[in-house]
Amino acid sequence: MLVVSLSIYHPNSVMKFTKTLRYAIQSRITALAGFAVAMVFTAPTAQAGNAGGSAGVVTYNIPLQIEQGNMPYTNAYTLLITSPAGLTAGNYQINLDLTLLTAPAGVTASQGLGFVSISSNTSQTGGLVNGLPGTLIGNVQQRAAQISFTGPNQQVAVTVTTNIPLGAWAGSFGYKITTRGWAASLGVVDPGANINNQVSFPSGLPSLPGVQILSPVDETTYTMVAGGPALVIPYSFVGSTADGSPLIAMNASVNGQDMGLTASGLFQGFTNATASGNITITAPGVYTFTVNDANANGVGSSSVQINVQVQAGPPSVVINSPSPSATFVLSGNEVDVPFTFTGYSQFGGITNLVATLDGVPLNVSSGDIGKLAALGSGVLPLTSVGNHTLAVTAYDNFGVASTAETVIVVAGSPPNRGS
C-alpha cells in the first residue's frame, strides 16, 4: 500500500495538519487556493507472509545486550523470542545455539561458552558434554536450550545468564544466540541476538600474571632424521606481573607431562620469573607446550604447538630365495618353487609387499607388515621352459623399492611311476 503524507500550511496561520492519503491523489487538492502543499511519499511497508515459502523473520526484544562490570561478574536478563509472522500452524521444536564471537586472548571456546547459560520454558536438552549442555562444535554451543512454537507471532521467554568468575578473563566477550531447526522450505530468517560483555579486574587487586614462551616458537616444524640422534629443542619462558607483585610459582608441561621446571625469580617483587633449558624429543608428532605462572591473585597461562616430522629415505628390498639364475627342471605340467623376499624400512615400517612372475601378480604372505623388516613368501608356479622373471616390491610411507631376478626352467624327463 502506498502512503502519502500531506502537510498543508496557511500563509496567515501557524496551523498545520497532516492527512494520510490512501488512494490516488485527487486533482482537486491542487485547487486549494492560497495554500502551500508539501507531499512526502513513504515506501510501502513489507508485509511478512508465507508466500513463496518465506515464513518471515525471527525477532528478539533485545537484539543487543551490553554488559559491563568487574570480575566476578554475574547478570541475568529475559530474552523474548518471537516466531515469524508468516509461520503456519504446526509443532516446531527449535534449538537455541550459542556462538562465541570474540574472547580475550588465551580463553578457549569451551571456557568462554561456559560463562553463558540459557534456560527456557521447555526442558534443557542434550545433557552435559564436557561440562556444558548440548554439543560443542568449534566455537558454537549447539542446543544450549530448546524452545517450541505452534504458530506465528508467538513469544517465548528465556533467561540468559552470564557468570564470569574472577580469573584471567579480563577483556571483551561477544556472543550470538540464534535459532536452529527450521525446515529450509520455510525460508525463516534469523538475525540472532547479540551479547557484548566487557569485564575488568576489581580495583585494588594485583593483576594476574602473564607468561611468554620465547622458544619454541608457535607453529614451528622440526625435522628429525630416521635412525639419527634424538631431537633437542631449547625452551625459554618468562613470567611477569604488570603491578610488580611477586610470582610464587611457574610450571610447564609437554602434551600433559610435567617438565619439572626450576624457575628463578620467584617470591621477589618487581622481578620476572624465568626458566630455560632443553627438551629431548624422540618421536615425531604434535607437541603442545603449556606454561603457567601464579601470583597471589591467580594463574596466567600460555601455550604453543610445534610439529616434529621425520626425514627418512625410501625402503629397500632383497630376494632371499631362489638364488639368481637358479635352474629348475620341468618334468611335468608344472614345477612349484618357493620364494621369499624381505623389505626393509628406515622408519615407520613396511606397509605392503608385492610380487609378480613375468608380470602376473603372485599371492604373497607376510605377518610382518608394519615392522621395519617384513618377510614375504609365496610359490612360483613354473609351467614352461625358458627364462622367467621374479619381481618384488616393498612399500613404506617414504617411498617404494623394487628388484627382480631371473629363474631358469629346463625340460626334463617325466618321473618314472613304475609299471
Residues 6 or more apart from 226 whose CB is under 8 A from it?
310, 311, 312, 313, 346, 347
Kind plus residue range of the DSSP H or E element containing 195: strand 193-200
Give the pLDDT score at 2. 38
Written out in words, the top-level CATH class of the domain with range 210-311 is mainly beta
Please state, in angstroms and rounded to a whole number, the distance separating the CA atoms of residues 298 and 241. Answer: 11
Pick from 188, 207, 388: which is nearest to 299 by CA? 207
pTM score over 0.75: no
Does 51-200 match 316-411 in CATH topology?
Answer: yes
Q: What end-to-end distance do the CA atoms of the chain give, in Å?
A: 115
The fold of the 316-411 domain, in CATH, is Immunoglobulin-like (2.60.40)
The fold of the 51-200 domain, in CATH, is Immunoglobulin-like (2.60.40)
Question: Would you kindly state where each structural domain of the chain is located, as residue ranges?
Answer: 3-42, 51-200, 210-311, 316-411
Q: Which residues face 140 on adjacent strands? A: 99, 137
Q: What is the pLDDT along the chain (419 residues), one digit of tens a residue?
A: 333 333 333 333 333 333 333 333 333 333 333 333 322 323 333 333 343 458 899 999 999 999 999 888 999 999 999 999 999 999 999 999 999 999 887 678 888 888 999 987 654 433 333 334 567 788 998 888 889 999 999 999 999 999 998 766 788 999 999 999 999 999 999 999 999 999 987 776 667 888 999 999 999 999 999 888 999 999 999 998 877 788 999 999 999 999 999 999 999 988 899 999 999 999 999 999 999 999 887 888 999 999 999 999 999 999 999 999 999 999 889 999 999 999 999 999 999 999 999 999 999 999 999 999 999 999 999 999 999 999 999 999 999 999 999 999 999 865 554 43
